[in-house]
Amino acid sequence: MSESSPATQAAHPKDYTGAKLGMWLFLFTEVLLFGGLFILYAVYLQRYPEGFRLGGEQLNVWFGGGNTLVLLTSSLSVAMAITALQRGRVRQTMGLVGVTVAMAFCFLVNKYFEWSAKIHHGIYPSSPQLKELPAGEQVFFSIYYLTTGLHGIHVLVGMVMMGWVLLLIRRGKVNPEDYVTLENAGLYWHLVDLIWIFIFPLYYLIL
């Protein structure tokens, strides 16, 4: 503890390790939440391998691959934003967080087009057309909508959170001396990326 600034210490009693550990604990609950959905996936894949193969073939690899590229790049930009702020480059940080927000938006636009195309073809939970299909495909699309939908909500939350952090940086509330809020928002964003890293091969690439 620096003896020179007891006033700032008292005004901002920040415990970085504690703040980040708290965020990690929250992220573990998220991992267990999505883990439940992946267990569901694994059990039904074992029961209906053929239905899952047919379902997976109907998903567009270009949408999934494009969104993988978008999320990996947005993870890079937020990781770089933390480095930039640690080095005291505030304008650069704001640019990088801005890129992350834009990438998150891109992801959601992609998802919108992807889902619309599927729904347009009559494939959505309990649609008449889906009810005609074999049980395996029905289960595949139900879990697909549930998992990617929940993931999409996380992307939306992450995007709003990044926008909020951008505002805090602009106001100087998050700055080169105090940036744990950006780090924690970044951790959340990386988790969203991590979950997609598993969704992409399991849903889009299964053969």
CB 65 within 8 A of CB 204: yes
- Select from 9-17, 113-121, 130-138, 167-175 the region that touches another protein (CB under 8 A): 9-17
Nearest to 93 by CA among 179, 29, 158: 179
Among 6, 26, 28, 50, binds another protein (CB under 8 A): 28
Contact track, another protein, 143-182, x by CB under 8 A: ------------------------------------x---
- Select from 42-50, 97-105, 122-130, 167-175 the region that touches another protein (CB under 8 A): 42-50
Residue 126 CB contacts under 8 Å (≥ 6 apart), including other chains = none
Among 37, 54, 63, 79, binds another protein (CB under 8 A): 79
d(CA 171, CA 203) in angstroms, rounded, equals: 42
Helix axes 135-170, 90-120, angle to 10 degrees: 160
Among 6, 31, 112, 122, binds another protein (CB under 8 A): 31
DSSP 6: H
The verdict on 2 binding another protein (CB under 8 A) reads: yes
**Main-chain phi, psi angles of 175, to 5 degrees:** -145, 175
d(CA 207, CA 202) in angstroms, rounded, equals: 10
SS3 content of the chain, % helix, strand, coil (to 5): 80, 0, 15
The verdict on 207 binding another protein (CB under 8 A) reads: yes
# binding residues, another protein (CB under 8 A):
52
Helix (H) or strand (E) holding 47: helix 16-47
- Select from 38-46, 118-126, 140-148, 154-162 the region that touches another protein (CB under 8 A): 38-46
CB 61 within 8 A of CB 204: yes
Q: Rank residues 24 and 116 by Cβ distance to another protein and give the closer one.
A: 24
State the residues that interact with another protein by CB under 8 A. 1-2, 14-17, 20-21, 24-25, 28, 31-32, 35-36, 38-39, 42-43, 45-47, 61, 65, 68-69, 72-73, 75-76, 78-80, 82-83, 86-87, 179, 183, 186-187, 190, 193-194, 197-198, 200-202, 205-207
